[in-house]
Structure 1
């Protein structure tokens, strides 16, 4: 039987070929470069390129991470949504500093963002909630996220009740649903290389303006 170590060692990584990354043609801010990379990811068939890992810190100072969907990018603000009663919602309320990570294996590209997250308020949360699919709204209306589920029947019953509520009142929303914006103050764009000579560009906010520099692989 193959050991876990050998199994992992046999897996290929960064096999390429990858797109080139011209560091001589960099925009002034990371939001613009992100959108360039996002469009290239879409053009090259990356599945769910808007999926990202949100990392937060809990009350004990331990990191926590999960995958969410990016909702919008405006300037250097990155938008996502969640229930305020979820673990991530509670963690962001206590400590709004967080990070976002995107990884697109077929392009060998990773983007890391660090910043401060703000809750955009009731109106923005309600507007985002109404744009969600019926199933997504039904799940959000149930509440109970991250709490213990004792049986599948309880879940199906609760879902059916919420679908009926939406059918009767299509405009229904919940104050627990929040739209968040991360105000980025540091961003790193990483282009992998098959020979591990990776290209890394870091943007950082200092003295009221963006600066960038190249980092060692």
Structure 2
């Protein structure tokens, strides 16, 4: 389903990009966009960018929240370099949002709540501690999952030590809305010590 984006007047945009983001996200949800919370998380791996699609778990005054295993490739990259870019792309409504900033580990309680809110299958897979590692025999996965499920059954409320929830503190947020005549609207917010400022960008 393709839905037209509503009228967007950058001159009427709020001072805080968080408010505008929530408005755009709610519009995407109401328009039936498939997995509107899915975002590309780009990190730095050596001299190369590294991207993976993850799910936005929450958004508040601390930033945009997601979680990964510290032993995964993405977790290792964040531990070495917390610089991160989040990209949301909703072609059905002709919009995308890019958020650049720094990933900061959430307090332990937030991390625990994130893990415990996940499905049993997701918890078991995370508990194997094997994400991104190579394997040769599917039986390895079956065996590791069985062990993980047993651990979860024996210890309800268990949260693996390597599970980390992050909040991305943004310093740049760009909103992009498509235009059939290629006069796309681009509004970029930048944060400094005084707070947020915004400017229009050429398409």
TM-score interval (norm. to shorter):
over 0.9
Number of aligned pairs? 202
Q: How does 1:13-162 map to 2 (within 5 A)?
A: 17-58=4-45, 60-75=46-61, 77-162=63-148
Q: Which residue of 2 aligns with 1:210?
A: 196
Deviations 1:137-190 (A, max 9, x none): 000000111110111111112112212221222211111001101000000000
TM-score normalised to structure 2 length: 0.94
User: How far apart are the structure 2 equivalents of 1:183 and 1:24?
Assistant: 25
Deviations 1:12-66 (A, max 9, x none): xxx87443212122111111100000110111001110000000001x2210000
User: How far apart are the structure 1 equivalents of 2:75 and 2:108?
Assistant: 14
Q: Which residue of 1 aligns with 2:180?
A: 194
TM-score normalised to structure 1 length: 0.89
Asked if structure 2 preserves the Cα contact closer than 8 Å seen for 1:54 and 1:65, the reply is yes
Structure 2: gaps (5+ residues): none
Structure 1: gaps (5+ residues): 1-14
Q: For structure 1, which segment, 203-212 or 184-193, has the greater mean C-alpha deviation from structure 2 after superposition?
A: 203-212
Q: Note if 1:168 corresponds to 2:157.
A: no
Larger CA Rg, structure 1 vs 2: 1
RMSD: 1.5
